[in-house]
Chains A and B, each alone.
Chain A
Amino acid sequence: MIAFIIQRLLQSILVMVAVAFVAFSLFAYVGDPVAIMLGVDFNETDKARMIAELGLDRPFYVQFANFVGNAIQGNFGLSYRLARPVDQLIFERLPATLELSFLAAILALIVGVPMGVYTGLKRDSWLSRIFLTVSLIGVSLPTFLIGILLILVFSVMLNWLPSFGRGQVVPIGWWTTGLLTISGLKALILPSITLGLFQMTLIMRLVRSEMLEVLRTDYIKFARARGLTNRAVNFGHALKNTLVPVITITGLQLGAIIAFAISTETVFQWPGMGQLFIQSVTFADVPVMAAYLCLMAFFFVVINLIVDLLYYAVDPRLRVDRGVAGGHAG
């Protein structure tokens, strides 16, 4: 178990170094920072001085080591566009994106799993058919279109919910939250539905197909032959066996939600990291882009690690000491 965690940690570090290398390469290939910072009017002495200041005359591996060393401390340098420390910019915007993403993920889970279980158990009911048809729409419509449609109906036509922004936020330390004010909560509804809808339909379809698969197994049939109640069979035995794949997909999707919140944030003018990233791309603001890339990779790696550990919690076949199992097998 501990060996497994250490192995996974080492793999994660390897992934992070690789991503850091890609992020570092951005500086070399996306524009020339010296030219950008000096502007049009400069002389060769200024240029040489700046190159020395930025450490660009040093060997490549030293530069990379410096970059990684700084990145670990959260220091990604100054934004070209806003001339402010990148970590500050990101941390200002992190709460908005994380709140939106987690709400979307929770929404997807608490609606998607029960719908999946229902459609798996009552395959032929008309409600299942409706769920499945609606889920097709959820899977096939692009996110931005759903966002625009929701704005049209609930903001423009009904005037119930705000169409953009986070509403009023409350600071807690460096974190700002929209969960404590009415206007903040109202502002969260439409974007989180928009962001979570695709994942919700995905989870629903996944749970459904896993349920159908598990319900055919011998141990479910045997559980029925033992006279267990439907409730015990369906939820105690069947649902738990569908959890391993569901956890995997949900974990990966959580990373995807955070990373691809970009289009939702754009549609709703959500002041999150996605919006910051889009603006940075437009201005070739490499330090922000590099930091965003590293942060997203970090989220993915951490989530994957958590998913792997959850397997252990769910499936006893993984956590058993092999010596014991081998001794009795035969």
Chain B
Amino acid sequence: MAPPRANRPLLEVRDLRVEFPTRRGTLVAVDGVSFHIDPGEVLGVVGESGAGKSLTGTAIIGLLEPPGRIAAGEILLEGRRIDNLPYEAMRRIRGREIGAVFQDPLTSLNPLYTIGRQLIETVSTHLDLSPAEARERAIRLLQEVGIPGAEHRIDHYPHQFSGGMRQRVVIALALCANPRLIVADEPTTALDVSIQAQIISLLKRLCREHGAAVMLVTHDMGVIAETADRVAVMYAGRIVEIGPVGDVIREARHPYTAGLMGSIPKIGRHEERLAQIDGAMPRLNEIPRGCAFNPRCPQAFERCRQERPRPVAAGRSIVACWLYDGAAPTRATTEMANE
């Protein structure tokens, strides 16, 4: 069930470019990335390690670590630019309007303070509540994320909780001030497989209840398939395909996405070996000319090596691939007609 399309997207990212100046030249880690997230929507962002998905999330919450910087493009939250705000103005948005969940719950919490203290300080930073009200809210949040005995557990320290419980606390922290958007960066990667599903369904349920949209960064297609409304596939700092999750999974258009889907094992089908994409994603200083995927692409042709593909509409998705551009050769056109 997709949420109704609102008039104005909650978050809009336009031509975002993140650079790291180094001694040996500038590395472009995120290159011309554009997407939007509607209110209450879950957007999955997938890709291999180093594809730029986490950096995109970090850029949105304004916490890129120098020397990394936003070199071009803009980020709009409800139509207001937030990428060029001064530190203090952006601080007020973090936590209040955009919450964050990080990868490793074991290191996300300060070991020297009780979880209650950390919750209460976050609540009172953003909301005008008395200490007693803030504590009450903190306990309610802990109950919502499913911590048993929250009234008692609130005074415990992070090391007294297991990994899954700590990630629940982290989610409670992200939801403290009812933000409109949650940027969740690999929220389950560091957890046991058996806990992962619980955390994902909790995150999904809570965001729906609180009316928060989610940008879910992960490399786990299974998580995306279960959770996301739409999905953006990233490769070498660029979005290669973005569309409704069912379309992208069932009829992947970009050859990279198709390869990615082919590499997922399917239950009930016996396969000798899993399909894999030959080669590896290029390093940031070795991104080839034209389409970044062209050296590994089984369908690459001359144009892919010369010109960078523009994003074009293909069905309900948007794909950056010459196969789907109007000027593409017949091979791709016939392929599309067959579908």
Interface of A toward B, CB cutoff 8 Å: 217-219, 221-230, 232, 236-237, 240-241, 314-317, 320, 324-325, 328-330
List, sorted by A's number, 12 A–B pairs whose CB atoms are closer than 8 Å: A222-B173, A225-B63, A225-B99, A226-B99, A227-B93, A228-B95, A230-B91, A237-B110, A237-B113, A241-B110, A316-B159, A328-B165
B63 to A315, Cβ gap below 8 A?
Answer: no
A232 to B111, Cβ gap below 8 A?
Answer: no
Least CB separation from A244: chain B residue: B112
Least CB separation from A236: chain B residue: B121
The one of A217, A228, A316, A328 that contacts B122, using a Cβ cutoff of 8 Å: A228
Bound complex: CA of A224 vs CA of B95, how far in Å?
9
A218 to B104, Cβ gap below 8 A?
Answer: yes
What are the interface flags for B153-191 relative to A under an 8 Å C-beta threshold, 1 for contact and 0 otherwise?
000010111100100001001101100000000000000
List of B residues within 8 angstroms of A219 by Cβ: 107-111
Most buried by A among B99, B107, B112, B159: B112
B112 to A222, Cβ gap below 8 A?
Answer: no
| 17 further contact pairs, Cβ within 8 A, besides A219-B110, A225-B95, A228-B91 | A217-B107, A218-B108, A222-B108, A222-B170, A224-B91, A225-B61, A225-B99, A226-B99, A227-B95, A228-B95, A228-B125, A229-B125, A230-B91, A317-B159, A320-B159, A325-B159, A330-B162
A320 to B160, Cβ gap below 8 A?
Answer: yes
Whether A226 touches B107, Cβ cut-off 8 Å, given contacts A328-B161, A330-B162, is: no
Bound complex: CA of A30 vs CA of B75, how far in Å?
79
Q: Is B126 interfacial (CB-CB < 8 Å)?
A: yes
How would you classify the secondary structure of chain A's contact residues: helix, strand, loop or mixed? helix
CB distance from B302 to the nearest CB of A (A): 45
Least CB separation from A221: chain B residue: B63
Bound complex: CA of A290 vs CA of B74, how far in Å?
74
**Chain B count of residues within 8 A CB distance of the other chain:** 36
CB distance from B192 to the nearest CB of A (A): 9
Interface of B toward A, CB cutoff 8 Å: 61, 63, 87, 91-96, 99-100, 102, 104, 107-114, 121-122, 125-126, 157, 159-162, 165, 170, 173-174, 176-177
B102 to A222, Cβ gap below 8 A?
Answer: yes
Bound complex: CA of A314 vs CA of B170, how far in Å?
23
CB distance from A122 to the nearest CB of B (A): 13
CB distance from A214 to the nearest CB of B (A): 10
Whether A315 touches B107, Cβ cut-off 8 Å, given contacts A218-B102, A222-B170, A228-B125, is: no
Bound complex: CA of A237 vs CA of B99, how far in Å?
19
Least CB separation from A330: chain B residue: B162
The one of B63, B107, B110 that contacts A224, using a Cβ cutoff of 8 Å: B63
B102 to A221, Cβ gap below 8 A?
Answer: yes
CB distance from A323 to the nearest CB of B (A): 11
CB distance from B161 to the nearest CB of A (A): 6
Bound complex: CA of A181 vs CA of B296, how far in Å?
83
Whether A225 touches B96, Cβ cut-off 8 Å, given contacts A315-B112, A330-B162, is: no
A224 to B94, Cβ gap below 8 A?
Answer: yes
B176 to A222, Cβ gap below 8 A?
Answer: no
List of A residues within 8 angstroms of B174 by Cβ: 226
List of B residues within 8 angstroms of A315 by Cβ: 111-112
B94 to A223, Cβ gap below 8 A?
Answer: no
The one of A222, A225, A226, A324 that contacts B160, using a Cβ cutoff of 8 Å: A324
Bound complex: CA of A217 vs CA of B157, how far in Å?
18
Bound complex: CA of A237 vs CA of B112, how far in Å?
8
List of B residues within 8 angstroms of A328 by Cβ: 160-162, 165
A316 to B157, Cβ gap below 8 A?
Answer: yes
B94 to A325, Cβ gap below 8 A?
Answer: no
Bound complex: CA of A229 vs CA of B133, how far in Å?
21
CB distance from B48 to the nearest CB of A (A): 22
List of B residues within 8 angstroms of A229 by Cβ: 91, 125
List of B residues within 8 angstroms of A230 by Cβ: 87, 91
Least CB separation from B114: chain A residue: A316
Least CB separation from B159: chain A residue: A317
B122 to A226, Cβ gap below 8 A?
Answer: yes
List of B residues within 8 angstroms of A223 by Cβ: 110
Least CB separation from B104: chain A residue: A218
Bound complex: CA of A328 vs CA of B113, how far in Å?
18
List of B residues within 8 angstroms of A218 by Cβ: 102, 104, 107-108
A317 to B111, Cβ gap below 8 A?
Answer: yes
Bound complex: CA of A237 vs CA of B111, how far in Å?
10
Least CB separation from A232: chain B residue: B121
Whether A228 touches B121, Cβ cut-off 8 Å, given contacts A217-B107, A221-B102, A241-B112, is: yes
The one of A225, A232, A320 that contacts B100, using a Cβ cutoff of 8 Å: A225
